[in-house]
A and B are shown apart, each in its own frame.
Chain A
Amino acid sequence: MIDVAIAYNRYKFLGEEFLTWLWYVIENDQILIKNFDRNFVGLEIGDRIVFENRRKESPERITIKGEEAGLEEGILALKNGALVTELNMIYRSAELVWQFTLKGESLNFSSLNIPKTDLPDSDEDIEGFVLEKLFLYDKSLQLVKNLFAHFVKLRISNKWLNKEVSSIRKWIQSS
């Protein structure tokens, strides 16, 4: 494995391409996500997307916020060569809902909100309560882990340039 500090900077683009691809998947291929969660109901864009365009002389950062976020502006940013650097998502599985922001360069989670759980009635219930909380955290982390692993395998395969990139380009241009 290459040096961690070097790898962090060199592969920032991989996380940002992942988020850009993920937005494309959310809009066009929800069935793919079902492969990673048999109770999957949906993955939606939440209340925040951040873009960065490093193709310009001085890098440009665009933030779209709010529940009625105007995604047309986001598509315009992609058309101008930007990538998604932060993405807030709403994840639904069975009757439960998670919301979180994922940062491309670090894959760090922030503003992670898991489904509510009932408080324990007695000391004997504490272990079950903690394990339920941890299960709920793990569920959102596992979804992203599995999606990222799928993306990486696709990204280093011939299918990426031969098929996936042209599909993403078509989506960007036609949106």
Chain B
Amino acid sequence: MSIWSSKVSITQYNVQGKINSPIIEFITSGLVSNTIAEIDQQVSDRAVGWTSVDKPFQPDFSGSSFVFGNYFVFALRIDKKNIAAKILKKHYTIEAARRMLESGRDYLSKTEKQLIKDHVLNTLSLRIPATPNIYDIVWNYEESSLWFFSNLKAANEELETLFSNSFNLTIIRIFPYTAADLSSNLVDSQRDDLQKISPTQFVK
């Protein structure tokens, strides 16, 4: 989902840890090292990496192009090849029949079946293009806050893993407890009180 869309979803994060200096060079290095790899005409069926918001299919982080004031603006791209189960079954059946004919047997061992399945998957992966999904990110490095433009659980989990691997920083998702603990300026005694609260009954 893009920051330019007319309607967006946002999951908020708190960024924990210190960014190494010089900041922009450090972030550029994390983005470049983990830029999305193209998997079309490759055996891989999945790729996850960073890309540019303005050119998601030609990622380019040179010249601080992702820096806007206090914000870093870039995107997470998840490419996946979706091979329909029926297509997989069709090619597996054809290949299994060919192997049995070649061997003169009317059966295949468990190992042979698995090898055929892997071979068919690899062959199809080479031919099928990956479907890209792009989720924009806005990181305010002065406020240690990050907005991820998706509420999808799987996409959020990919973000958390890739972010940690790229920058050696942890991001904590903001939800009621973390919003209270990290973003509400509570003093220690108020944090203790927060641990003790239980649901209110608004009707008797």
Contact = CB atoms under 8 A, between A and B. Distances in A.
Chain A, interface SS category: helix
Contact of A156 (B10, B69, B193): B193
B184 A4 contact: no
A41 interface: no
Interface in B33-82: 68-69, 71, 73
B7 A148 contact: no
A56 B195 CA distance: 26
B183 interface: yes
Interface residues of A, number: 50
A145 B9 contact: no
B166 interface: no
Contacts of A130: 68, 71, 73
Contact of A169 (B179, B186, B203): B203
A4 B180 CA distance: 13
B202 A112 contact: no
Contacts of A134: 3, 68-69, 71, 73, 138
A11 B176 contact: yes
B199 interface: yes
Interface residues of B, number: 41
Interface string A1-26: 11010011011111101101000000
Interface in B146-174: 147, 151, 172-174
Contacts of B147: 137, 141
Which of B183, B184, B195 has the most A CB atoms < 10 Å from its CB? Answer: B184
Interface string A139-169: 0010001001100110110001100010011
A131 B193 CA distance: 39
Nearest to B192: A156
Nearest to A106: B175
Contacts of A78: 202-203
A106 B10 CA distance: 11
Nearest to A81: B203
26 contacts: A1-B181, A11-B175, A11-B176, A15-B175, A15-B176, A17-B199, A78-B202, A80-B203, A81-B203, A105-B175, A106-B151, A107-B175, A107-B176, A110-B9, A113-B6, A127-B69, A131-B68, A131-B69, A133-B4, A134-B68, A134-B73, A137-B3, A137-B147, A148-B184, A153-B190, A156-B194
Given A81-B203, A156-B194, 17 more contacts: A4-B172, A10-B177, A11-B176, A13-B199, A18-B176, A20-B202, A105-B175, A107-B179, A108-B151, A109-B9, A110-B9, A112-B10, A127-B69, A130-B73, A134-B69, A149-B185, A168-B202
Interface of B: 3-4, 6-12, 68-69, 71, 73, 138, 147, 151, 172-181, 183-186, 190, 193-195, 197, 199-204
